[in-house]
Amino acid sequence: MAATVHSVARKIWQSLSAIKTGVILLIIVVIISAAGTVILQRPVTEGDEMQRAYSPQMLRLLDGLGLTDVFHAWWFVLLLTMVSLSIIAASVQRFPNAWRFFSRPYKSPNETFRNALPGHVLVPIKDKDEEAALTVAERVLQKAGFKPERIVRENSFSLFGERNRISEMAVYIVHASLLLIFLGGIVDALYGWRGYVTLTRGQQSSQVQPQNGSTRNLPFAIRCDGAGQENYADGTPKRWWSDLAVLENGQVTLRKQIVVNDPLVYRGVRFYQAGYGRTGKVDKVILDATPKLGGAAREIALGLDETLPLDADTTVRLAEFIPDYVVRDGQVYTRSNDLENPAAHLVVESKRSGQAVNFWLPPIPGFEQDASSPYAFEAKDAQMAYFTGLEVSHEPGQWSVWAGVIVMGLGLAVVFYFVHVRVWAVPVRDARGKLLLWIGGSANKNKDVFEQRFRRLIEQIESELKVSSEADAEAPTASIAG
C-alpha cells in the first residue's frame, strides 16, 4: 500500500515536472485569459450592461461556467497554482545537476572528455617545455579575461579558465523570480483589500467602503484639509490634489499633499487621488453687510448653518444655499449642483427682541427681502464645497512582486547576455610521444560567437608560442636572464 502511494506521488511529481505539462498548462492559461478579455467581466461591467450584451440563457450559461469573472474564479487561481507548482517541480528536478555543475566546475579534463569535446585543437610545443607553453597560454587567457588557474594533480598539471559561471544558474534565478511575483499575488489575493472613501474639506474618517458594500475600520483616521483642481488654459484638467492628514489618537502623525500619480502611504495603507467633484453644498458665502443706520460695509464669510454676530445685538445665519435655483409655483427648487444661478437664504436675528427676519439674495419675487432687516447684504462670492474621492488599498504582497521583478530583470540579463565559457589547456603526448598542448573550449550558448572567439585565442597562443620559441632560439641567454 505504502509502495503504491509512493509511486503515485512519484508519478504526479514526474508529470508535474515535465516540460510538456508546463506547456499545456500555459496554453490553457492563455486560452482562458484570452476568453476573459473577450467576454464582458462582472465586477467591471455593470449588471444591466451585461443583460443588454447577452441573452438571458447565454448569460446564465456564462455565469454558470464562471466565465463572467474568470480572473477571480477559484479554478483560475487553481490553474495559476498548478503553473507555479509545475515551475517549482521542473526547477527542483533539474536543479541538482546544474548546481553540481555550478559548485564543482570541471577543471582538469580526462582523456575521454578531451577526445569528445567538439571545440579542441592540438598545438605542437617544444619538447620538455610544457611549463613555458602553459605560461604563454596563461598570459593570453589572462588578457582575454578568463582568470586562468593552474590545476596541479599528482602526475599532471594543466590550465583552467572560465567566465560568467553564474550563467548556469540564470534559468533558476528567473524561475525563482516568477515564484516571488506569484507569491506576492497570492498574498495580496488573500490579505489585500481595496476600498473607497469620500471626504470634504475638514472632514475626517477612519472607515473605508470596500466594493462589496461592507465597511472596514482603519486603526487611524484620515482628514482632508483641502482639495482642488487646476486646469490647462483650454479647460481640460491638469492636476487634482488633496491635502491629507493622518490622525492617530487625535494627533496628526503625517501630512501630505497627494496628486494623481503620488499616493499617501501610511502603515501599508495607500490613499490615491481617484475622484473630485462638487458636493452641491456651499463651503463659504462671502457677503458685504452694511448697517442701514449708517456705517461702513463689512465683509463677512458664512458657512452653511453658521451664525455670525454682526453687532452686540444682531446675528446672521446662512440658512440655505441653492447653487442653481429656479422658482416654480412660488417655490424655490434646485436645478443642478453647478454654481449657475445661486441663491442664499439668510436669517437675521435680534437677541433682544428675539425677532428673526428672512433675507433672500438675490431678491426673489414672492420672497421679498424683509425691509425690517437692520442690515443690507450684498453677495460677493460663493465658494462651493468639493469632495475628494480616495481610492484606498492595502497590498502587503507588493514588495514580493517588486523584488521578483528586479530579480527577473537581472536573471534575464544573465540568461541572454552572460555566456558561461570555459577553456582548458593540458600538455599531452601523441601516439609517437611528441609533446602537444591540448586546448579545448566550450560555451553554454551562442556557440557560434564563441567558436570565432576561441579560434582567435588559439591563433594568439600559437603566434606567441612561435615568438617565444624564436626568441629562445635566437637569444637563449637573454631569455634566461629575463
Partner 1 sequence: MERARVEQQPAATGTTLVVMVGLGVAFLLFMAFLNVVKSGNLLNESNLLYAALIFYSGAGALYLAFGVTGTPSYVRFASLATWAGLLANTGAVVHRWYEAGHPPFASIYEMLLSFVWTLAVLTLIAEKKYGVKVIGTVTMPVAIVGVVLMQLLRTEVHPLVPALQSTWLHVHVTLAMLAYAACALSFALAMMFLIQDKMKTETFLAATSLFSIATYVSILTRFEKWGGLSVVGWDPEEKAEIFVAKGVRLYVVIPDLGWLMLLVLAAVAAPFLLYLFWRKNPDRNTLEIANRAVFLSILLQSLTLIFFVLRARDGRYGSLDAEGLFPTSLAASPFILSGLVGGIFVSLLYLLLLWRRSDLERMLPSADELDRITYRTIAIAFPLLTLMIAAGAYWANRTWGSYWSWDPKETWAAITWLVYAGYLHMRVTRGWRGRRAAYFAILGFAVVMFTFFGVTYLLPGLHAYA
Binding site for partner 1 (CB under 8 A): 19, 22-23, 26, 29-30, 33-34, 36-38, 40-41, 44-45, 49, 70-71, 185, 194, 232, 234, 236-240, 259-263, 270, 272-274, 391-393, 395, 398, 401-402, 405, 408-409, 412-413, 416-417, 448
Pick between residue 148 and residue 263 the one whose CB is nearest to partner 1.
263
Q: Which of residues 71 and 333 has its CB atom nearest to partner 1 in the complex?
A: 71
Q: Minimal distance in Å, beta carbon 8 to partner 1?
A: 26
Closest distance to partner 1 from the beta carbon of 412 (Å)? 4
Based on CB atoms, which residue is closest to partner 1, 65 or 449? 449
Q: Work out the angle between the directed axes of helices 19-38 and 74-103 (0-180°, nearest 10).
A: 140
Q: Which is nearer to partner 1, 161 or 397 (CB)?
A: 397
CB of 247 to partner 1, least distance (A): 21
Find the shortest distance in angstroms from Cβ 404 to partner 1: 9
Taking the least distance from each CB to partner 1, the nearer of 390 and 426 is 390
CB of 396 to partner 1, least distance (A): 13
The C-alpha angle 363, 368, 374, rounded to 5 degrees, equals: 90
Q: How far is the CB of 11 from partner 1 (least distance, A)?
A: 21
Cα 282 from Cα 326, distance rounded (Å): 17
Which CB, 48 or 474, lies closer to partner 1? 48
23 versus 327: smaller Cβ distance to partner 1: 23
Q: How far is the CB of 159 from partner 1 (least distance, A)?
A: 30
Least Å distance between CB 58 and partner 1?
16
Q: Which is nearer to partner 1, 45 or 204 (CB)?
A: 45
